[in-house]
Amino acid sequence: MNTKPQTQIDSSEQIIVSRQQFSGPIPPPEALKQYDIVVPGLAERIMKMAENEAASRLRNDDKLVDNIVRSSFLGIFFAFASVVLLAALACLALINDYPVVASGTVVIIASVAGMFILFRNRKNKNNV
Protein backbone atom coordinates (compact mmCIF):
# COMPACT_ATOMS: atom_id res chain seq x y z
CA MET A 1 0.00 0.00 0.00
CA ASN A 2 1.43 3.33 -1.07
CA THR A 3 0.82 6.20 1.22
CA LYS A 4 1.94 9.67 0.40
CA PRO A 5 2.98 11.76 3.30
CA GLN A 6 0.52 14.46 4.04
CA THR A 7 1.85 17.89 4.69
CA GLN A 8 0.05 20.58 6.47
CA ILE A 9 0.37 24.07 5.09
CA ASP A 10 -0.08 26.91 7.41
CA SER A 11 -2.45 29.52 5.98
CA SER A 12 0.21 32.19 6.37
CA GLU A 13 2.52 30.24 4.02
CA GLN A 14 0.28 30.22 0.98
CA ILE A 15 1.77 31.59 -2.20
CA ILE A 16 -0.36 33.02 -4.94
CA VAL A 17 1.22 33.25 -8.34
CA SER A 18 -0.35 35.31 -11.04
CA ARG A 19 0.82 35.90 -14.56
CA GLN A 20 -0.35 38.35 -17.18
CA GLN A 21 0.60 38.41 -20.81
CA PHE A 22 -0.24 40.72 -23.66
CA SER A 23 0.84 41.07 -27.23
CA GLY A 24 1.24 44.15 -29.30
CA PRO A 25 2.89 47.48 -28.75
CA ILE A 26 0.33 48.79 -26.25
CA PRO A 27 -0.15 47.19 -22.82
CA PRO A 28 -3.65 46.80 -21.40
CA PRO A 29 -5.16 49.87 -19.68
CA GLU A 30 -4.51 48.54 -16.17
CA ALA A 31 -0.81 48.10 -16.92
CA LEU A 32 -0.61 51.54 -18.52
CA LYS A 33 -2.14 53.05 -15.40
CA GLN A 34 0.42 51.27 -13.21
CA TYR A 35 3.27 52.38 -15.47
CA ASP A 36 2.03 55.95 -15.17
CA ILE A 37 1.96 55.64 -11.36
CA VAL A 38 5.56 54.40 -11.26
CA VAL A 39 6.89 56.95 -13.77
CA PRO A 40 4.60 59.90 -14.43
CA GLY A 41 4.03 60.42 -18.16
CA LEU A 42 5.23 56.93 -19.09
CA ALA A 43 1.84 55.87 -20.46
CA GLU A 44 1.90 58.85 -22.85
CA ARG A 45 5.43 57.95 -23.96
CA ILE A 46 4.39 54.34 -24.60
CA MET A 47 1.43 55.51 -26.69
CA LYS A 48 3.67 57.90 -28.65
CA MET A 49 6.13 55.05 -29.27
CA ALA A 50 3.32 52.84 -30.62
CA GLU A 51 2.08 55.66 -32.88
CA ASN A 52 5.60 56.27 -34.22
CA GLU A 53 6.05 52.55 -34.87
CA ALA A 54 2.77 52.37 -36.80
CA ALA A 55 3.67 55.42 -38.88
CA SER A 56 7.10 53.96 -39.61
CA ARG A 57 5.58 50.66 -40.77
CA LEU A 58 3.16 52.50 -43.06
CA ARG A 59 6.01 54.51 -44.60
CA ASN A 60 8.06 51.36 -45.15
CA ASP A 61 5.09 49.56 -46.72
CA ASP A 62 4.50 52.50 -49.05
CA LYS A 63 8.16 52.51 -50.07
CA LEU A 64 8.04 48.76 -50.72
CA VAL A 65 4.96 49.07 -52.91
CA ASP A 66 6.54 51.99 -54.81
CA ASN A 67 9.72 49.96 -55.41
CA ILE A 68 7.73 46.97 -56.65
CA VAL A 69 5.68 49.13 -59.02
CA ARG A 70 8.79 50.93 -60.26
CA SER A 71 10.72 47.71 -60.87
CA SER A 72 7.73 46.16 -62.66
CA PHE A 73 7.37 49.24 -64.85
CA LEU A 74 11.09 49.29 -65.66
CA GLY A 75 11.02 45.57 -66.51
CA ILE A 76 8.09 46.03 -68.87
CA PHE A 77 9.69 49.12 -70.44
CA PHE A 78 13.03 47.42 -71.10
CA ALA A 79 11.33 44.29 -72.42
CA PHE A 80 9.29 46.42 -74.85
CA ALA A 81 12.38 48.42 -75.88
CA SER A 82 14.31 45.20 -76.50
CA VAL A 83 11.55 43.77 -78.67
CA VAL A 84 11.28 47.00 -80.68
CA LEU A 85 15.06 47.11 -81.14
CA LEU A 86 15.21 43.47 -82.25
CA ALA A 87 12.25 43.97 -84.60
CA ALA A 88 14.00 46.99 -86.12
CA LEU A 89 17.14 44.90 -86.52
CA ALA A 90 15.12 42.19 -88.27
CA CYS A 91 13.55 44.76 -90.62
CA LEU A 92 16.96 46.26 -91.35
CA ALA A 93 18.35 42.80 -92.09
CA LEU A 94 15.46 42.08 -94.49
CA ILE A 95 15.96 45.40 -96.29
CA ASN A 96 19.67 44.66 -96.76
CA ASP A 97 19.03 41.09 -98.07
CA TYR A 98 20.03 39.14 -94.93
CA PRO A 99 17.01 36.84 -94.51
CA VAL A 100 18.87 34.42 -92.24
CA VAL A 101 19.73 37.18 -89.76
CA ALA A 102 16.14 38.46 -89.92
CA SER A 103 14.64 35.03 -89.27
CA GLY A 104 17.17 34.39 -86.50
CA THR A 105 16.20 37.65 -84.84
CA VAL A 106 12.51 36.74 -85.03
CA VAL A 107 13.28 33.32 -83.51
CA ILE A 108 15.18 35.04 -80.68
CA ILE A 109 12.23 37.37 -80.00
CA ALA A 110 9.79 34.46 -79.97
CA SER A 111 11.96 32.25 -77.72
CA VAL A 112 12.54 35.03 -75.18
CA ALA A 113 8.81 35.80 -75.11
CA GLY A 114 8.03 32.09 -74.74
CA MET A 115 10.47 31.70 -71.85
CA PHE A 116 8.99 34.76 -70.15
CA ILE A 117 5.46 33.36 -70.45
CA LEU A 118 6.56 29.88 -69.33
CA PHE A 119 8.40 31.11 -66.22
CA ARG A 120 5.62 33.54 -65.34
CA ASN A 121 3.05 30.70 -65.47
CA ARG A 122 5.26 28.50 -63.27
CA LYS A 123 5.71 31.33 -60.76
CA ASN A 124 1.94 31.91 -60.63
CA LYS A 125 1.29 28.19 -60.06
CA ASN A 126 3.86 28.05 -57.23
CA ASN A 127 2.32 31.08 -55.48
CA VAL A 128 -1.20 29.62 -55.47
Q: What integer pLDDT is reported at residue 1 of this predicted model?
A: 41
Q: What integer pLDDT is reported at residue 4 of this predicted model?
A: 53
Give the span between the Cα atoms of 85 and 94, in whole angstroms: 14
Q: Encode pLDDT of 77-99 as tens digits.
A: 888 888 888 889 899 999 999 98
Q: Encode pLDDT of 5-48 as tens digits.
A: 555 555 566 778 878 787 877 888 888 899 889 999 999 999 99
CB 32, CB 46: distance < 8 Å? yes
Domain boundaries, the chain: 25-127
The model scores a pTM over 0.75: no
CB 11, CB 22: distance < 8 Å? no
